[in-house]
Amino acid sequence: MSAQIKLVDVVDSRITSFLETRSDEMGVISPDLEHILAYANSMLRSGKRFRARFCYWGWRAIDQDPESDPLGGLETLEDASPVISLATSLEVFHAAALVHDDIMDNSDTRRGLPAAHKAFERIHRDRSYAGTPDHFGASTALLLGDLLLAWSDDLLTEALATLPADIVSTTRAQFSTMRQEVTLGQYLDIHEEAAWFHHGENERLERALRVVTYKSAKYSMEAPLLIGASLAGATADHLSDLSSFGLPLGIAFQLRDDVLGVFGDSEVTGKPAGDDLREGKRTVLVALAEASMPASAKGVFNELLGDRTLNPEQIDVMQSTLRDTGALDEVEGMIQHYADTAMDALESAQITDSARSELRRLADAVTKRNA
């Protein structure tokens, strides 16, 4: 069994153990917290663990003694090493970001299940609570996202508890940078949806790429690599090499996500087909399509974009428009370009051969979503 497969199992086990501890603590406070814990359990116990995997292989990218690999014989959580807690922290942070993102996007689903705020709305209705379901749902989901952020920091603190001060300082700094960038990137996403028409068409592609970079690309691939490498005592050159690989890969990853948000199979994405069109996402795909549309078609497209009531036939028409303008082909070309850039950087990076081999495989997985 490969180290990567073992890592996913170990992170899953670490999440289970962590949630059991939090369950005991929350049970002492009040049984009314049960539905918050239940949703946290359902959300945290699924996923491909890409961020945990990049964190681990960022750590392994720096010259490590094979005997120090925690996956060599990790059978119980008492043996959990700092890198496992750190990788788990990133998965919990990711869950927090998804909860908050779904509130802001007013998404109905996440991974094929009701989004957190929708799940809590249902609880409100089922129990005939006072007030409005939507306020209860959004408020509870907001607090769940905040709680997950706090739990992520708890795991980060645990990971760094016994390490030298310089390692603690550099790793925390990388983690702090990630948190700031993804929060500001999320704002930029909201801002573009509101201010899209306040900027010229010649600016929109650049602005959409900025959202891609800071909302998703950096925290999905680059930051986990740098955080894991910092834990291993990486030099500035190591970090630069990993950044040159991780950032373009993260952009390719998010561009693929944008394509799936419009054209993806709902059984694969866990969201309804064309959901990004209903949510009015101003993506690179949309920016490229608008630049090639005649004025009349552009008016109709923008009138439909963001309409929550879009039916399958309207989605089909919008998908055809995105294809016919050549925007879909352009984005596919961009995905390949950024993936190639990442792979070129990986081949020349000053990292261990084992990490290079696994990161090569992971890069293929995140751009094609086949693992």
**pLDDT mean over 135-150:** 97
CB–CB of 110/102 below 8 Å?
yes
pLDDT tens, 161-220? Answer: 999 999 999 999 999 999 999 999 999 999 998 898 898 888 999 999 999 999 999 999
pLDDT tens, 30-60? Answer: 999 999 999 999 999 888 899 999 999 999 9
Cα–Cα distance measured from residue 51 to residue 299, given in angstroms and rounded to the nearest whole number: 39
pLDDT tens, 314-331? Answer: 999 999 999 999 999 999
CB–CB of 61/225 below 8 Å?
yes
Q: Which residue has the tokens 């996500």?
A: 257
Q: For residues 43, 49, 55 and 57, what is the CA-based torsion angle, rounded to 10 degrees?
A: 170
For the chain, what's the residue count?
371
Reported pTM: 0.91
Cα–Cα distance measured from residue 287 to residue 290, given in angstroms and rounded to the nearest whole number: 5
Sequence-distant (6+) residues with CB within 8 A of 162 are 82
Note the CATH architecture for domain 3-368: Orthogonal Bundle (1.10)
Q: Quickly count: other Cβ atoms within 10 Å of residue 156's Cβ.
A: 24
For residue 2, the model assigns a pLDDT of 46
pLDDT tens, 69-80? Answer: 666 554 444 445
Cα–Cα distance measured from residue 164 to residue 174, given in angstroms and rounded to the nearest whole number: 16
For residue 265, the model assigns a pLDDT of 77
The secondary structure element, H or E, covering residue 298 is helix 295-304
Ordered by start, the domain boundaries in the chain are: 3-368
Q: Quickly count: other Cβ atoms within 10 Å of residue 205's Cβ.
A: 16
